[in-house]
Amino acid sequence: MKQEYPIFEGVGTALITPFRDGAVDYDALGLIIEEQINAGIDSLVICGTTGEASTLTDEEHRSVIEYSVKKSAGRVPIIAGTGSNDVAYAIDLSLHACEVGADALLQVTPYYNKASQLGLVKYFSTIADEVDRPVILYNVPSRTGCAIGIDAYKELAEHPNIIATKEACGDISFIAKLAEAVDGKMDIYSGNDDQIVPIMSLGGKGVISVLANIAPSVTLQMAHACLEGDFALGAKLQLEYLKLINSLFMTVNPIPVKQTMAYLGKCTSEMRLPLCEMTDKESDKLYNVIDEYRDRLE
């Protein structure tokens, strides 16, 4: 039977993975997790796009998930990014995440090799058949070159272990069609911070958020206003923080948010190639926006 309640409602932070001297900085990661939980965050998403999963070694990927589960100690749900373009590897990584206590699994559309719609249904269903934790799909065609269509979504929504999707296609009309098609059989989370309120107005349960790394309280206020039906407040906050949101995507995510976290003293700005720091001009532009909002960040 399909799980009849969401993994979370509100905000799941797409957490960065801090590095120092070429290695994962677990001290900084632990402090960031504590700050997020103290802010009242609804869930943490580990080793997703913002967590630079694509450049983590297999050992690091598994270790970061396990560390985050232990650090959270059941205080918030941990959603582990365990997707791949290799179904066998995705299953193996997913089984490890289940073994160490992750509450749910985030599965991105397979990248580079792409897939037909039938291939996507078989791919996600095969993974979901093998694990005992709920699966959240992740549709981000701008990064993967592969998009889940409405008919595929309708079929996947019938799988008892596929409970939600993180939608980052950017197309509100598509989200409306998706919500109509799945008819409550699959929860929808916004995958874009600039679309939290529009997607939640169509029945979305919340957001998997980059913004929440630096402004968890504001992101929570925005999403929970929508959950409580106060879309006027949600829209006010969406527009008030749009400049900040846009600054976090002025170049490829997670470059701006990681530099912002370093600017705020929470970790280094270290990334792994092909990601690299912005130019001085770009950085100055980012930091000017951060300074404008600084007294509202926590």
Fold category of 10-230 in CATH: TIM Barrel (3.20.20)
Buried b (16+ CB within 10 A) or exposed e, 145-176: ebbbbeebbbbbbebebbbbbbbbbeeeebbe
Helix H or strand E segment including 165:
strand 162-167
Q: What is the pTM of this model?
A: 0.95
Q: Which of 71, 123, 153, 166 is catalytic?
A: 166
One pLDDT digit (tens) per residue for the chain, 298 residues = 466 568 999 999 999 999 999 999 999 999 999 999 999 999 999 999 999 999 999 999 999 999 999 999 999 999 999 999 999 999 999 999 999 999 999 999 999 998 999 999 999 999 999 999 999 999 998 888 999 999 999 999 999 999 999 999 999 999 999 999 999 999 999 999 999 999 999 999 999 999 999 999 999 999 999 999 999 999 999 999 999 999 999 999 999 999 999 999 999 999 999 999 999 999 999 999 999 999 888 6
Asked if residue 137 lies in contact with residue 148, where contact means CB atoms within 8 angstroms, the answer is yes
Cis peptide before 110 (omega within 30 of 0): no
Q: Which of 138, 153, 189, 241 is catalytic?
A: 138
Q: How far apart are CA 188 and CA 137, in angstroms?
A: 9
First to last CA, the chain: 40
Whether residue 185 lies in the annotated active site: no
The C-alpha R_g of the chain, in whole angstroms, comes to: 18
Tokens representing 248 are: 């976090």
Whether residue 138 lies in the annotated active site: yes
Q: How far apart are CA 149 and CA 182, in angstroms?
A: 12
